[in-house]
Structure 1
Amino acid sequence: MKATCLPTWQPCRIALRPDENRDNAGENIMKLLIAIDTSPSTDAVISEVSARPWPEGTVARVLNVVDSRLVSTDFIDVDAYSKTEVDSAHALVESLADRLTSRGIGSVGVVIEGYPRTKIVEYAREWEADFIFVGSHGHGSITRFFLGSVAKAVTRSAPCSVEIVRPTAHRQGGETSAMRVLLATDGSACSAAAARSVASRPWPEQSEFRIVSAVDLVVPVIEPWYGAPNLISRIERETSKLAEQAIRASETILCGAGLFTSEAVLVGNPKVSILDEAKDWDANLVVVGSHGRRGIDRALQGSVSEAVALHAHCSVEVIRERDNLY
């Protein structure tokens, strides 16, 4: 079904929660952990990060995890091969860090050895990162970021927000350009966190923001049959009202930061309708909240957030507040 559009409301002003992450001096900073490999998707990640405006003082670490388990001892000298790969990894992360630094994001390169699925998450936790950026897929003789393995594992288990970056036509050579950001909300505390994350960051001039909430109309099986129409009508009204309330709550947060929005109530399975709306609206970025179910490889399992993150045509941010993690 076609999305039902709601009117755009006038901006208002509210007090936004400050970023909880601070450096040793107590100043607010944003920490970006950029996990890369040798695949073409790495250039898309670096271009996306370097092209966006970030809060003053934002710092980044470009991380490459060298996974020597992928080397067969039957054909090559593992020690010599690993040293070559580590040296190459250092050269790669240093060059990418210099590229980010030239765009005003203080960056350093980091190379560690181990299992990428766990080492990225462990490093993010140790460094207290605010965001992890990973490519949507990748390849390489040592480090592999296959969507459905490393990127999926990081999205599920990370101690912070994660963005899966996909190349988009609007980004050319790392140049800053207006973005189309789609924020999906279900009215939960996690969705409110996603709205606050969007509201707290600078965005390119003339960027557009669209807030959507999906109504999944489930028809109950009841007896007697003649009572069904009235019940279904009531369910439709109540679920639509909840979706509108969810949109209003997020709209208040965004307009409080001076961001003008459009809104729409979507009808259908959220996993499908959000993806369809993102594509139809030609979004560059979809932002969703995580409900943060914890456990080994279980966070987000089967959720709307994971479905959107793994199948969207564009980049996706899964927002996770650190306060809710431990």
Structure 2
Amino acid sequence: MKVLVAVDESEGSLYALQWALQNIPLHRQSTAAPVEEEEPPAITVVHVQLPFQQPYTANPVGPVLFATPAVMDSVKKAQEHSSAEVLSRASELCKQHMIKAETMVVRGNPKEMIVEATEQMNVDLLVVGSRGLGQIKRAFLGSVSDYCAHHATCPVLIVRPPKSSNK
């Protein structure tokens, strides 16, 4: 079974990954497997970077200002660092559960890129976290999990984090 788990910087997405590792029957890494017979990954963890948008200010009195190449490079490096950090945390969780995982970073609109990845990889199950937005916030802000549930061609498991005890 091919499982894709979408993660971002939120604790909710890492909780969804942990839930999947604990509850979905995935094959564990065997320590006795010969080196020649490479096991396929049990799970693929994907992180979506938002596309870089040129920040500018349009002043009706003055000129339009664009970001310098140095600023653009700085933003891209920050995005790469953030992606590496997110995937490092996800990989560590997989190792703790002795699950072989593949990681990937894609760039674009998270909703669309996650659905596209499931189609390209012929995924059997997509796991996404939920921030627990109410109906009004979800209507205005949109919801990655809601979009995936309605547009993915495979089953989608939406994992909600447990309710905090300090509320």
Shorter-chain TM-score: which interval?
Answer: 0.7 to 0.9
- Aligned amino acid, residue 93 of structure 2: I
The Cα offsets for residues 71-97 of structure 1, whole Å up to 9 and x where unpaired, read as: xxxxxxxxxxxxxxxxxxxxxxxxxxx
Higher CA-based Rg: 1
The match for 1:283 among 109, 123, 129 is: 123
**Correspondence for 1:144:** none
The match for 1:216 among 32, 50, 63 is: 50
Taking a change above 3 Å as real, the CA distance of residues 324 and 305 of structure 1, as seen in their structure-2 partners, is: farther
CA distance in 2, matches of 1:219, 1:305: 27
Q: Which has the higher contact order (CA 8 A, sep 6+)?
A: 2
- Aligned amino acid, residue 180 of structure 1: K
Taking a change above 3 Å as real, the CA distance of residues 204 and 251 of structure 1, as seen in their structure-2 partners, is: closer
**Correspondence for 1:134:** none
Deviation at 1:224, TM superposition (A): 3.6
**Correspondence for 1:200:** 22
Question: Identity of paired residues, percent?
Answer: 23
Count of residues in Structure 1 that have an aligned counterpart in Structure 2 = 145
5+ residue gaps in structure 2?
Answer: 28-39, 58-63
**Correspondence for 1:187:** 9
CA distance in 1, matches of 2:6, 2:110: 9
Taking a change above 3 Å as real, the CA distance of residues 231 and 204 of structure 1, as seen in their structure-2 partners, is: closer
The Cα offsets for residues 187-220 of structure 1, whole Å up to 9 and x where unpaired, read as: 2110111011012124154772000110112221
Deviation at 1:300, TM superposition (A): 4.2
When the two structures are superposed, what TM-score results if normalisation uses the length of structure 1? 0.41
Look up the SS of the partner of 2:68 in the other structure.
Answer: helix
Contact 1:184 1:287 in 2 (8 A): yes
CA distance in 2, matches of 1:316, 1:263: 19
Taking a change above 3 Å as real, the CA distance of residues 184 and 202 of structure 1, as seen in their structure-2 partners, is: closer
CA distance in 2, matches of 1:204, 1:211: 14
Contact 2:13 2:128 in 1 (8 A): yes
The match for 1:259 among 80, 95, 99 is: 99
CA distance in 2, matches of 1:318, 1:324: 18
CA distance in 1, matches of 2:56, 2:96: 43
Contact 1:198 1:254 in 2 (8 A): no
